[in-house]
Amino acid sequence: MSKSEPVTRRTILKGIVAGAGVAAANAFMPRCFAASAPTKVKLGLMLPYTGTYAALGKNIDDALRLAISERGGKLGGREVEYVVVDDESEPAKGAENANKLVSRDKVDFLIGTVHSGVAMAMVKVATDNDTILVIPNAGAAAATGAACAPNIFRTSFTNWQPGFAMGKVMAGRGLKRAVSVSWDYAAGHESMGGFKEGFATGGGSVEKELALAFPQVEFQAILTEIAATKPELVYTFFAGAGAVKFVKDYAAAGLKNSAPLVGAGFLTDGTLQAQGDAAQGIETTLHYADGLNVPKDKTFRAAFKKATNRDADVYAVQGYDAGQLLAVGLDAVKGDTSARKEMIAAMEKAEIDSPRGRFTLSKAHNPVQDMYLRKVAGLENKFVSVAVKALADPARGCKLV
Ligand code: BEZ
């Protein structure tokens, strides 16, 4: 019996029945139980630790480990082993990296990632191998849409959700003419699409959708075009280092007063220190905010600060909740990963006590959650109001819905 054979009730029983003595039992039982301690649960973390999204990946990783360390370092009674891969936010390497984790390292779960393009490569590998995947950030629609599957879960959002919420807020203010700006990949287009849909509910129209290749940050041509178009507002999806640069360049171009900059909350989450004055007053929509007055948020922020000496942000929250969701699944089956049906059923039914506020998962396995309107003041994305209550992604094309 190989070391990597899954621990199942059947294999445990087999060992007990077959063996009169300890030595005989050991010959039949998985090695993990022979010394009376079960093998570790292997988590394959595929996240960006370098590049534009490095800070996002680091916060997800640290907060996931925090959630597990709060449970004594165990899930379902089993110790946890981490196998870590830097995906560099590079879609071309996504399948190879995920395959290594599944086939070479034999991880029990895949956790990742930040970039939608890389996440979709992980979805394919997870689907092909029937490995449970928990996505702690990437908002690619297809992961819980056309490519949804019983083994694919997400603890973050779809790109549509914050975009749609901001569109509704701006439409509610009677604004009619917008320009959208983003990177030219799934996350950017889906975020701009969500905004367009929400904005249209009040008769607003997006006159131009401008995009540049990920992860470029040469914004001059785009800023010139915005100035020439003279929209009433500019909606954006940028995150990480790109968000820092865009917000600074936008302010430096003198556009902040003529065309207010709004966005999906990634524009100003985890970035405010670096953005400084340029970010003040920017409004965004997201499933997390400062000043939520959620008891779990207070304890989480204190614990994250203590563990990392950094302030928590939305990425940390999503990583923490990935750990919480895994705990629900593994605790339900007492660590027996072969009891997949029960484990998946428990995860589907989970109500996560998140720092963002409690949430449940849709049939497509994406959070149904409040979208908050926030406004930057000092170093905070201050809660303003609930922009859309319990917003579910439409999960277009998902056969589980
Ligand atoms: C995405 O690629 O889906 C994504 C990246 C960073 C922040 C939010 C979404």
Q: Look up the domain containing 20 and give its range.
A: 1-37
Residue with CA nearest ligand 1 atom 5: 115
- Would residue 238 count as lying in a domain? yes
| pLDDT reading at 3 higher than 90 | no
Q: How far is the CA of 264 from the centre of ligand 1 (A)?
A: 10
Do residues 135 and 114 share a domain?
yes
Q: In b/e form, how buried is each residue of 102-141, taking b as 16+ CB within 10 angstroms?
A: beeebbbbbbbbbbbbbbbbbbebbbeeebbbbbbbbbbb
The torsion of the CA quartet 13, 14, 19, 23, rounded to 10 degrees, works out to -90
Ligand 1 atom closest to residue 315's alpha carbon, by position in its atom list: 7
Q: Is residue 376 very low, low, confident or very high in pLDDT (cuts 50, 70, 90)?
A: very high
Q: How far is the CA of 187 from the centre of ligand 1 (A)?
A: 6
| pLDDT reading at 105 higher than 90 | yes
Q: What is the pLDDT of residues 41-50, one digit of tens each?
A: 999 999 999 9
Best mutation site among 114, 246, 318 for ligand 1 pocket (most ligand atoms within 8 Å of CB): 114
Do residues 206 and 281 share a domain?
yes
Per-chain mean pLDDT for the chain: 93
Task: Tally the domains of the chain.
Answer: 3
Q: How far is the CA of 211 from the centre of ligand 1 (A)?
A: 15
Q: Is residue 38 very low, low, confident or very high in pLDDT (cuts 50, 70, 90)?
A: confident
Interval 95-111 mean pLDDT: 98
What is the Cα 44 distance to its own chain's centre?
A: 15
Closest CA to 86 of 127, 30, 142, 45: 45
| pLDDT reading at 52 higher than 80 | yes
- Would residue 375 count as lying in a domain? no
Q: Is residue 35 very low, low, confident or very high in pLDDT (cuts 50, 70, 90)?
A: low
Q: Is residue 18 very low, low, confident or very high in pLDDT (cuts 50, 70, 90)?
A: very low
Interval 338-345 mean pLDDT: 97
Interval 141-165 mean pLDDT: 98
CB distance 189 to ligand 1 below 6 Å: no
Do residues 15 and 110 share a domain?
no
- Would residue 377 count as lying in a domain? no
Interval 199-221 mean pLDDT: 98
CB distance 154 to ligand 1 below 6 Å: no
Q: What is residue 26's predicted lDDT score, i.e. its pLDDT?
A: 42
Interval 170-192 mean pLDDT: 98
Do residues 135 and 207 share a domain?
no
Best mutation site among 52, 137, 284, 288 for ligand 1 pocket (most ligand atoms within 8 Å of CB): 137
- What is the model's pTM? 0.91
CB distance 114 to ligand 1 below 6 Å: yes
- Would residue 146 count as lying in a domain? yes
| pLDDT reading at 72 higher than 90 | yes
CB distance 325 to ligand 1 below 6 Å: no
Q: How far is the CA of 271 from the centre of ligand 1 (A)?
A: 14
Ligand 1 atom closest to residue 89's alpha carbon, by position in its atom list: 2
Provide the CATH number for the domain around residue 150. 3.40.50.2300
| pLDDT reading at 78 higher than 90 | yes
